[in-house]
Amino acid sequence: MPKQTIRDIQWQGKRALVRVDFNVPQDKTGAITDDARIQAALPTLNYLLDHGASLVLMSHLGRPKDGPDPAYSLRPVAEHLAILLGRPVRLVDETVGPKAEAAAQSLKPGDVLVLENTRFDNRETKNDPAMSAQLAKLGDVFVNDAFGSAHRAHASTAGVAERLPAVAGFLMQKELDYLGDALTNPQHPFVAILGGAKVSDKIAVIEQLLDKVDAILIGGGMANTFLRAQGYATGKSLVEEEALDVARSLLAQGEDRIHLPVDLVVADAFAADAARKTVAVDAIPDGWMALDIGPASIAHFANRLAGASTIVWNGPMGVFELPPFAAGTNAIAEILASLPNAITIIGGGDSAAAVRQAGLDDKISHVSTGGGASLEFLEGKVLPGVAAINDRK
């Protein structure tokens, strides 16, 4: 059912309690190295400010182990956000409690307050009702714009929505529109590209998509398990022995819809300076490992993608972190960017990172901000953070 959004609320004089995803990478000095997630929230934040709201923003950052840790403070994020918004942004040094409540109560229309890292309070990940109630005191309406955290039933993503009117921000709505349409009403031909290390991580996605797609293209480490299931020798390549029977079953169900690599870039060690060569899938030498798809596989996949109307991509085609084994992943990114008439959706995570590194994200229809969330969405799972948003009646 469609969800209510920030357009359904009269914001003048209201405090918007906004769950954003400001879990951004930083260097050792604390400087933000990629602000894509902050940039993605700006349309929602600017709309709320332009319509007379004040903002109380909450997010997690990293995985602090034992309460507050300066290394995971949102202070650098608040300072960077102030530059992007062109207005002062205040950080309060607690997530809930008297200081946070006093700071929230003092807000006037146009003011922006950032709460300290939600995971500094260990009740957050337990979806503790008391913490949810404390968060609810800080706003009049809850706005969830953090799709990347929507698969977690936490106090700041699900619990607080039980205590306040809950609506989606623009980023959340965009994610649901693109991913939802891909699952329920895709334009055909519909092609899915799946990669990454393990078949076990994508079994549910493949099962969910098999009856919907015209083709599934499989690369990355997970392709090795399918190749072994077909009887090929795979040398020292990563293979999930326990998933071989599942792989055989999926191949049988997929018939001519599942497409595997036809050649591979193999190396004698897992290292950028390892000896490497390109071989057919039936010619992997003993002691060597597959670390990328080869040029014939790229051409094969390109042919399958050429006439596609909807394309969903989740997972790299090889060990793209090592430059000698990034060609397959980069080629897929370039192919998708060259298809202006297709709806192209990148399912977050490493695939999104590869597209951004290549500078091609502006040529993709939608680059998801949630790797784990988009994967679970594609699996057909109900995301707690999405379910908690009010349905449009």
Alpha-carbon distance of 138 to 56, in angstroms, equals 7
Catalytic residue among 99, 137, 198, 212: 198
- Within this chain, do residues 109 and 83 fall inside the same structural domain, yes or no? yes
Looking at the fold, whether 120 and 203 belong to one and the same domain comes out as no
Is the domain of 143 the same as that of 265? no
Q: What is the pLDDT of residues 217-274, one digit of tens each?
A: 999 999 999 999 999 999 999 999 999 999 999 999 998 999 999 999 999 999 999 9
Q: Which residues constitute the domain of residue 18?
A: 6-173
The answer on pLDDT for 369 being more than 90 is no
Q: What distance in Å separates the CA atoms of residue 134 and residue 164, rounded to the nearest whole number?
A: 11
State the total domains in the chain.
2
Candidates 14, 15, 19, 37; catalytic one: 37
Task: Tell me, yes or no, whether 385 lies in a domain.
Answer: no
pLDDT exceeds cutoff 90 at 94: yes
Q: In this predicted model, what pLDDT tens digit does every residue of 301-355 receive, in sequence order?
A: 999 999 999 999 999 999 999 999 999 999 999 999 999 899 999 986 788 888 8
- Per the annotation, the verdict on 372 as an active-site residue is yes
pLDDT over 90 (residue 372): no
The per-residue pLDDT for range 165-182, each reduced to its tens digit, is 999 999 999 999 998 888
Write down the catalytic residue from 257, 356, 372, 381. Answer: 372
Residue 311 sits in the same domain as residue 190: yes
Task: For residue 349, indicate whether it is catalytic.
Answer: yes
- Please say which residue of 117, 152, 173 terminates a domain: 173
Give residue 378's pLDDT. 85
pTM: 0.88
Select which of 349, 370, 371, 385 is catalytic: 349
- Write the DSSP assignment of 310-332 as a string of letters: EEEEES-SS-TTSGGG-HHHHHH
Q: Determine the average pLDDT of the residues in 87-98.
A: 97
pLDDT in tens, 179-221: 888 888 899 999 999 998 888 888 989 998 998 999 999 999 9
* Strand arrangement, sheet containing 343-346: 258-259, 215-218, 190-194, 310-314, 343-346, 366-367
Q: Is 37 a catalytic residue?
A: yes
